[in-house]
Amino acid sequence: MPSENDILIHSWEELQNALFHDSWDPKINRYRSSYVYRGMWNKNFELTTSLIRLGGDYSKLETHLLRNFRKYAHRDAAPGNSIWNWLAVAQHHGLPTRLLDWTYSPFVALHFATNNLLHYDTDAVIWCVNYVKSNTHLPLVLKDAISAEGSNVFTPEVLEPVCSSLKELGAFQEEDFVVFLEPPSLDGRIVHQFALFALMSSSTALLSDWLKQNPDLYFRIIIPARLKWEIRDKLDQANITERVLFPGLNGLSEWLRRHYTTI
């Protein structure tokens, strides 16, 4: 059943309006959106982390995964010893974690909603979350830390002095909350994708469930399957491609494979 938080678009023009919905900031008289975006090729997908997708007693595996990753990783794999840097590196290299990838760019999210040619018969979705307003649900110590920094998102350097572990994060308050964390610039992929992470206070908390309990924090854009080819071609013309978002030969090859695929 469609949610009142869903915007069903019918054309490329409607999509542009939806992507920049509520982006006007009257405080500075500029179009500066307070939203971050995540694109998914199936509108029915929840915001499930790779850790949850492990199944079984996954919550007990989180510390073991991170401990062994740090143990066997190259000594220069992460700057410093911050757990938040290590989490970012682990996520970046495919380790199951509680992190979810997001982007400040609605067009990058649109790429990930339309890059899988095997599912062009399925409606896609862009999740749009007001990361600024989500901070009202943070525990006081984290609110104070981010306010003192004059920022709306955390970096490992800001988070580490007030919270140095996942256990400590979950102990701040009983109610679940989300932290938006900007990773270090590990490589061109993170930079080009304008990336950041969402981090729930509990490994078992599902961000999509939490958002549905706080409907003022998000909306979703539903993209009909019939529009995917048009959107994909226009994104390619705008240079939003694997060649740009995944710098290197793998990204180049993936872009060329898709570019020369016929309907």
In order, the DSSP letters of 176-220 are --EEEEPPP--SHHHHHTTEEEEEESSTT--HHHHHHHSGGGEEE
Between CA 19 and CA 235 the distance in angstroms is 14
64 pLDDT band (50/70/90 cuts)?
very high
Whether the per-residue pLDDT at 1 is higher than 70: the answer is no
Among 6, 36, 32, which Cα is nearest to 128's?
36
Q: What is the mean pLDDT of residues 132-139?
A: 97
Predicted pLDDT of residue 76: 64
| Span of 26-40, 43-57, 116-130, 188-202 with lowest mean pLDDT | 188-202
Whether the per-residue pLDDT at 11 is higher than 80: the answer is yes
Sequence-separated (6 or more) residues with CB below 8 Å from residue 110: 15, 19, 39, 126, 231, 235, 240
Structure tokens at 163: 């919270």
Between CA 123 and CA 227 the distance in angstroms is 9
Neighbours of 195 (CB within 10 A): 22
| Span of 122-131, 195-204, 240-249 with lowest mean pLDDT | 240-249
Sequence-separated (6 or more) residues with CB below 8 Å from residue 204: 52, 59
Structure tokens at 240: 């939003």
Predicted pLDDT of residue 3: 79
Is residue 16 in some structural domain?
Answer: yes
Q: What is the mean pLDDT of residues 8-30?
A: 94
Query: What would the pLDDT profile of 101-111 be if each residue is shown by its tens digit?
Result: 999 999 999 99
Whether the per-residue pLDDT at 183 is higher than 70: the answer is yes
Predicted pLDDT of residue 112: 97
Whether the per-residue pLDDT at 177 is higher than 90: the answer is yes
Write out the residue range of the structural domain in which residue 205 sits.
6-260
Structure tokens at 3: 């949610």
State the DSSP H helix or E strand holding residue 58, giving kind and residue range, or none if neither: helix 58-72
Predicted pLDDT of residue 77: 67
Q: Indicate the residue type of 142.
A: L
Residue 187 · residue 79 · CB < 8 Å: no
Rg, Å, the chain Cα set: 19
Is residue 231 in some structural domain?
Answer: yes
Is residue 1 in some structural domain?
Answer: no
Whether the per-residue pLDDT at 78 is higher than 90: the answer is no
Residue 42 half-sphere exposure toward CB, CA atoms < 13 A: 7
The predicted model scores a pTM of 0.93
Between CA 187 and CA 43 the distance in angstroms is 30
Structure tokens at 54: 């492990």
Number of domains in the chain: 1
Between CA 160 and CA 75 the distance in angstroms is 20
